[in-house]
Amino acid sequence: MTDPALLPAGVRDVLPVEAAELRALGQALADSFGTFGYREVMTPLIELADVLGRADGQAAGRAYRLFDDEGRVLVLRPDLTIPIARLVATRMADHPDPVRIAYNARAVRPPTSGKIEGAEQRQAGIELVGAAGADADAEVVAALARALAAAGVPDARIAVGSVALVSAVLDEAGASDAARAALWDALHARSVVEWRRAAADLRCTGALGGIVSDLPALRGGPDVLDRVADAAPGAASECARMQDILALAARHGVPVPMVDLGVVRDWSYYSGVVIEAYAAGVAVPVAVGGRYDGLGARFGRPRPAVGVAVALDLLHHAVGRSAEREGAGVVMVGGADDLIEEATRLRADGVAVVGVPRDCPDPDAVALADGRRHVVRREGDGWMVRDVISGSRSEVGDLGAGPWI
């Protein structure tokens, strides 16, 4: 018989304390994105496989599949950008440009064999649709930086690369289709060794040869872009655009992103700038995104677009349990029977009250299990408060004067 606690590979249960923390993080991100004018939409968890396949051949391939009553192939959405692009191109086709969209939802896809990764990905993100310039790219970078700071990561490191810039350098190097495929494979695998092996076959010399060989390892400030533009004049316009993104991001009052030309994304629809954000204590990016100007046309409404998504589980790992959320609320002995009215009045003041019967054998254990710091019980005309973390006791005459207020 199957163990009732067994779950499919890559998924897990989320218990109350963590669930509350994830919800708070998502709300902090949403509130911050809202200051830039982004409004939330919701798309269905289930999509038609052939519709998603229009956007990216990988999308329907790496997905959980099922069938409806008419025999059509359905998939659990493996990505959130594609459904948002479909929604904007169809449901919001007449909306004047630009369209600012936010979301907080899950993407679901089978974990890659041999990798430790979740099948469910909780994401909060934004998409800026109908704006093609560097100012739009910089807005998304700035909105991401502000949102991460609001969620508790003020020192996130944001890096930007460019699919278009890499392509322009390969054009300058005269790379064949086969050589490009080998180089992109190496870049997606983040293998500098494989990249340099494939780059050596291009037989580039001089400054261009050095740039092509070192491209995935090039990172730093604007000087990196100057070096690329000098060695590969055909990439100069893309370098100038990246320079504009950095300058405009600074005008938003956020730290200037690092240039990292090894930054790429797995999905083939990305066409321009690509974005990653890192937080201390997490080895992989807590946020990823980029520009995907061709995606809307695949759903019948051509529009340039750029966006970014924050991985909530990874962000939660970076933030940990904040002092503001830890221990919120109170366990009230008698709040489930003798003191229902008092519990109700305290809830009306915005305090979370866990009511337990007056004869609860271990209210402290309830408080610790539920993440509540204080246990309160009636004593005479006042209240006795126990701090289950420190073990201290105190008396208050009025619930409105308790340490939970």
Q: Which tens digits make up the pLDDT trace of 233-256?
A: 999 999 999 999 999 999 999 999
More confident residue, 113 or 300: 300
Task: Please write down the long-range contacts of 195-203, taking CB distance under 8 Å and 24 or more positions apart.
Answer: 202/173, 202/174, 202/175
Q: Amino acid identity, residue 36?
A: F
Q: What angle do CA 185, 183, 256 make, to 5 degrees?
A: 90
C-alpha torsion sign, points 243, 244, 245, 251? positive
Q: Are 258 and 240 in contact, with CB atoms under 8 Å apart?
A: no
Return the structure tokens found at 104.
Answer: 């907080």
Residue range 16-319 forms a domain whose CATH class is alpha beta
If you ran DSSP here, which 8-state letter would residue 256 be given?
Answer: P
pLDDT above 90 covers a percentage of the chain that reads 62
Q: Are 286 and 298 in contact, with CB atoms under 8 Å apart?
A: no
Q: So what's the pLDDT on residue 324?
A: 43
Residues paired with 123 in a beta bridge: 105, 311
Q: Tokens 């064999």 — which residue?
A: 113
By CB atoms closer than 10 A (0-12, 13-18, 19+), residue 398 is exposed
What phi and psi, each to the nearest 5 degrees, are found at residue 331? -95, 125
User: What 3-state class would DSSP assign to 287?
Assistant: strand
Q: So what's the pLDDT on residue 59?
A: 55
C-alpha neighbours within 13 Å on the C-beta side of residue 187:
29
Q: So what's the pLDDT on residue 91?
A: 94
Q: So what's the pLDDT on residue 263?
A: 84
Q: What angle do CA 248, 253, 257 make, to 5 degrees?
A: 60
Q: Which tens digits make up the pLDDT trace of 128-169?
A: 999 999 999 999 999 999 999 999 999 999 999 999 999 999
Q: Tokens 């308790």 — which residue?
A: 402
Letter string b/e over residues 172-198, b meaning 16 or more CB atoms within 10 A of that residue's CB: bbebeeebbebbbebbeeeebebbbeb
Q: Are 327 and 374 in contact, with CB atoms under 8 Å apart?
A: yes
Q: Where are the domains of the chain?
A: 16-319, 328-401
C-alpha neighbours within 13 Å on the C-beta side of residue 204:
27
Letter string b/e over residues 13-51, b meaning 16 or more CB atoms within 10 A of that residue's CB: eeeeeeebbbebbbebbbebbbebebeebebeeebebeb
Separation of alpha carbons 373 and 330, rounded Å: 7
Q: Amino acid identity, residue 375?
A: V
Q: Which residues contact 229 (CB under 8 A, 6 or more apart)?
A: 235, 236, 239, 240
Q: So what's the pLDDT on residue 50?
A: 87
Report the CATH number of the 328-401 domain: 3.40.50.800
More confident residue, 174 or 308: 308
In this prediction, residues 183-193 reach a mean pLDDT of 85
Q: So what's the pLDDT on residue 327?
A: 64
Separation of alpha carbons 307 and 301, rounded Å: 17
Separation of alpha carbons 342 and 263, rounded Å: 56
Q: So what's the pLDDT on residue 326?
A: 54
Q: Which tens digits make up the pLDDT trace of 52-109?
A: 887 766 655 678 899 989 999 999 998 899 999 999 999 999 999 999 999 999 999 8
Of 57-61, 185-189, 313-317, highest mean pLDDT: 313-317
Could you tell me the pLDDT band of residue 323, with boundaries at 50, 70 and 90? very low
In this prediction, residues 43-57 reach a mean pLDDT of 85
What phi and psi, each to the nearest 5 degrees, are found at residue 186? -65, -40
Has residue 216 got a pLDDT over 70? yes
User: Concatenated DSSP letters for 99-153?
Assistant: EEEEEEEEEE-PPPTTS---SEEEEEEEEEES--SHHHHHHHHHHHHHHHHHTT-
In this prediction, residues 187-191 reach a mean pLDDT of 82
Has residue 368 got a pLDDT over 70? yes
Summary mean pLDDT of the chain: 90
Fold matches, 16-319 and 328-401? no
Separation of alpha carbons 312 and 104, rounded Å: 9
Q: Which tens digits make up the pLDDT trace of 331-366?
A: 999 999 999 999 999 999 889 999 999 999 999 999
Q: Are 42 and 103 in contact, with CB atoms under 8 Å apart?
A: yes
3-state helix, strand, coil in the chain (%, to 5): 40, 20, 40
Q: So what's the pLDDT on residue 189?
A: 81
